[in-house]
Chains A and B, each alone.
Chain A
């Protein structure tokens, strides 16, 4: 009998179906791996089990009895503990306080029993003795720790719940190999105690080293559950891709006719290193679209922002049009001819509440060193850029917020087209953009490439990359691990490169 079983659970956020039909069966004494691409619904499924998301439909049973999980407190009472991917630590408190945060030992039912707290925390800190690194101590403030150390605290906090069922949502993403090895030893110990564990990871080697069974989830649906011993990496990737290996292995059609006609290099990056990425080298020719692929958050955005002067660089060099570009701010990069479009529109792109015309002109102001803003002249300048994207809006003086998300993003892109840049850096530009706007964007991007721009495109949607990029650099753990060109640009190869060990 299964320890924990979720059958047919679903969850929609507004019109977005995050989870269509999730099934998961976890047995006592096993490590059950959950795998799927970005946005496939893994995290939603885990959150439903942990009570922080309420399902719209479906059934959950614990030891064969149907249960209702009322919330995180309820889940804890039922014996379900979770490690969250987004760290949930109190930055200003110490390591030991954070470990015991979910269940503080009390004296007289009111005061915190410091001795009991230290003693209990010490048990979990000792588990990672020798691999936790310098500066890791029971009384260290969590905010002062490194990312991997904070992740260890989060693991200890999950372990300290002593729950019979433990869910780990990407617990190893920041850990080094010794820490991962120790964590796996601990998991094996818990397995021997008969605890049930759910483990989410994107690293194939880890999955095959610690997992007993694996459940693949794709587009919000559970696709298959198999014993690790009975499957292999290619099969699992094939299940994630969702096409028979033969079809998934087909190369995408030649993305752009400019492939052979590509001009001289316009952007060249050598050994670029900084927080979140290291030793990145590549070259972009005029007329070429270079894709950045891989799992979400493997350094793609950091590299694009670093080139644009909006993310720190510690080593390496960027050359734009043959000239060294050490952009310390976006301002400097823009003046050299770089353009950057972020997928996080509301943070990096639109100037909320302001008229459309003011959202179109900031780059023009800077590149032309303007002092006066003459509305009629500016509208004339902006019109071709706006029309090239088929942007629909009532008038230039209407606030940007009156537009749909797709049209807002078109305005943000159009601001770069009044004065042509040489290099266009696209950082997941179609996030939250409707289908027709996406089509408009990509036909424009291909047209710009044909007109001689060098384009770097990072997309979290593999289909966009395969359809538009001439070459794809696959990022893994902050480095480029594979370059796919020509016939190698297949969905299968892209997945395999993204999920293999860093």
Chain B
């Protein structure tokens, strides 16, 4: 592969930008790229990366696939987890079960709305986000926010194996599972098939609706898992903790080389995208840009990315 083709590989671009941003951060504020800091960045990136795994599947599945409700599911999951474990390690299995079921349920609603009712994913998941936000307000008034179990906090922030905390290993495992799922299973090939030519896939006997529903269910499940981890990271849950994940999860996917039109790309690039965005976020914090400023930067980044990657071919075939 020549140099020109190499710089057009989104994964290569993302990895190069990671190095550049780390160097820039170190120059801005010495110690930015110290090993402990990098580890902390990776933990934060893992949270985003897990949400982006689901987002990645939804976008790969095409037909304008996007899941705007992931942030709401993350928040809800954190609250459900906090209440089910209420600070005790013994509550963790039930909390995991409860959260995964919650995430799957909302994903199922999204999937049914998109397939059976033919509501565009953008509208369907935006509506679902509204429902979730309302639900969160109601919950916050009636139920205590709940606390993380010690084991969960340890899993997220204390070294577990080879000096890395459990959440990093979880993320790596998810990366391996996603890669196998997409390249070595019939399900994965069918996701790509409906993402690149839904009609041809239908004519070749692919159960298009079933696959699309499964994609949204998985997106809900990944967001729920991220919600549990987020509870472990912050210690206690509060409403709307997950809101910050909606836009970045989409940007991470696009940065990683999966176009919004779907049908091509993969999760490895998305992982690099998640790390990249986390470093960018950290730099913005270092130079004292507040949350609203960060949101503006992220929004602008997505638009810029669409411009950059969209020039080759029109997004809608």
Interface residue from A329, A352, A373 paired with B196 (Cβ < 8 Å)? A352
B residues at A contact (CB < 8 Å):
183-190, 192-193, 196-197, 199-207, 263-264, 317
| Pairwise interchain contact A373-B197, C-beta atoms closer than 8 A | no
Chain B residue with minimal CB distance to A415? Answer: B204
Max chain A C-beta neighbours (<10 A), residue from B187, B189, B199, B206: B189
| Pairwise interchain contact B263-A352, C-beta atoms closer than 8 A | yes
A-B contact pairs, 7 of them (CB 8 A): A310-B203, A335-B205, A340-B203, A354-B263, A362-B189, A362-B204, A372-B186
Classify the secondary structure of A's interface with B: mixed
A348 within 8 A of B: yes
| Pairwise interchain contact B184-A373, C-beta atoms closer than 8 A | yes
The list of the 4 closest CB pairs from A to B, nearest first, reads A362-B204, A366-B205, A334-B205, A331-B205
Indicate with 1 or 0, residue by residue over A364-389, a CB within 8 angstroms of chain B CB atoms.
01100011111100000000000000
A189 within 8 A of B: no
Interface residue from A310, A334, A354, A370 paired with B193 (Cβ < 8 Å)? A354
CA A373 to CA B185, docked complex, whole Å: 5
Given contacts A373-B184, A374-B184, contact A348 B199 (CB under 8 A): yes
CA A372 to CA B263, docked complex, whole Å: 19
What is the count of residue pairs linking A and B with beta-carbon distances less than 8 angstroms?
81
B205: chain A residues at CB < 8 Å are: 330-331, 334-335, 362-363, 366
A residues at B contact (CB < 8 Å):
308, 310, 329-331, 334-335, 340, 342, 346-354, 358, 361-363, 365-366, 370-375, 415
CA A429 to CA B204, docked complex, whole Å: 16
Chain B residue with minimal CB distance to A350? Answer: B200
| Pairwise interchain contact A330-B186, C-beta atoms closer than 8 A | no
| Pairwise interchain contact A358-B204, C-beta atoms closer than 8 A | no
CA A186 to CA B193, docked complex, whole Å: 52
A-B contact sample (10 more), CB < 8 A, given A330-B204, A340-B203, A373-B184: A310-B202, A349-B203, A354-B263, A362-B206, A365-B190, A366-B206, A370-B186, A373-B183, A374-B184, A375-B184
| Pairwise interchain contact A373-B189, C-beta atoms closer than 8 A | yes
CA A170 to CA B169, docked complex, whole Å: 68
CA A116 to CA B197, docked complex, whole Å: 48
B204: chain A residues at CB < 8 Å are: 330, 334, 351, 362-363, 366, 415
| Pairwise interchain contact B197-A351, C-beta atoms closer than 8 A | yes
| Pairwise interchain contact A347-B199, C-beta atoms closer than 8 A | yes
CA A351 to CA B205, docked complex, whole Å: 13
A342: chain B residues at CB < 8 Å are: 203
Interface residue from A349, A361, A415 paired with B189 (Cβ < 8 Å)? A361
Interface residue from A308, A334, A351 paired with B200 (Cβ < 8 Å)? A351
B196: chain A residues at CB < 8 Å are: 351-354
A415: chain B residues at CB < 8 Å are: 204
Chain A residue with minimal CB distance to B259? Answer: A353
CA A365 to CA B192, docked complex, whole Å: 14
A358: chain B residues at CB < 8 Å are: 189, 192-193
CA A134 to CA B205, docked complex, whole Å: 40
A335: chain B residues at CB < 8 Å are: 205
CA A347 to CA B203, docked complex, whole Å: 10
A362: chain B residues at CB < 8 Å are: 189-190, 193, 201, 204-206
B206: chain A residues at CB < 8 Å are: 331, 362, 366
A350: chain B residues at CB < 8 Å are: 197, 200
Nearest chain A CB to B190 CB, angstrom units: 8
| Pairwise interchain contact A349-B185, C-beta atoms closer than 8 A | no
Nearest chain A CB to B271 CB, angstrom units: 22
CA A415 to CA B206, docked complex, whole Å: 13
Chain B residue with minimal CB distance to A342? Answer: B203
B193: chain A residues at CB < 8 Å are: 351, 354, 358, 362
B187: chain A residues at CB < 8 Å are: 371
B263: chain A residues at CB < 8 Å are: 352-354
| Pairwise interchain contact B203-A330, C-beta atoms closer than 8 A | yes
Interface residue from B188, B200, B201, B203 paired with A373 (Cβ < 8 Å)? B188
Interface residue from B186, B200, B264, B317 paired with A371 (Cβ < 8 Å)? B186
Given contacts A347-B199, A351-B200, contact A372 B184 (CB under 8 A): yes
B197: chain A residues at CB < 8 Å are: 346-347, 350-352
A353: chain B residues at CB < 8 Å are: 196, 263-264
CA A372 to CA B188, docked complex, whole Å: 9
| Pairwise interchain contact A365-B189, C-beta atoms closer than 8 A | yes
Max chain B C-beta neighbours (<10 A), residue from A331, A363, A370, A375: A331
B183: chain A residues at CB < 8 Å are: 373
B264: chain A residues at CB < 8 Å are: 353-354
B207: chain A residues at CB < 8 Å are: 331
Nearest chain B CB to A137 CB, angstrom units: 30
A375: chain B residues at CB < 8 Å are: 184
CA A475 to CA B203, docked complex, whole Å: 24
B201: chain A residues at CB < 8 Å are: 351, 362
Given contacts A352-B317, A353-B264, A372-B184, contact A347 B189 (CB under 8 A): no
CA A331 to CA B205, docked complex, whole Å: 4
Nearest chain B CB to A431 CB, angstrom units: 15
A370: chain B residues at CB < 8 Å are: 186
Chain A residue with minimal CB distance to B264? Answer: A353
Chain A residue with minimal CB distance to B202? Answer: A330
CA A349 to CA B189, docked complex, whole Å: 16
Nearest chain A CB to B10 CB, angstrom units: 15
CA A366 to CA B203, docked complex, whole Å: 12
A363: chain B residues at CB < 8 Å are: 204-205
Nearest chain A CB to B218 CB, angstrom units: 16
Max chain A C-beta neighbours (<10 A), residue from B190, B199, B203: B203
CA A350 to CA B197, docked complex, whole Å: 8
B200: chain A residues at CB < 8 Å are: 347-351
CA A342 to CA B206, docked complex, whole Å: 16
Nearest chain A CB to B175 CB, angstrom units: 19
CA A288 to CA B195, docked complex, whole Å: 38
Given contacts A354-B196, A363-B205, contact A373 B186 (CB under 8 A): yes
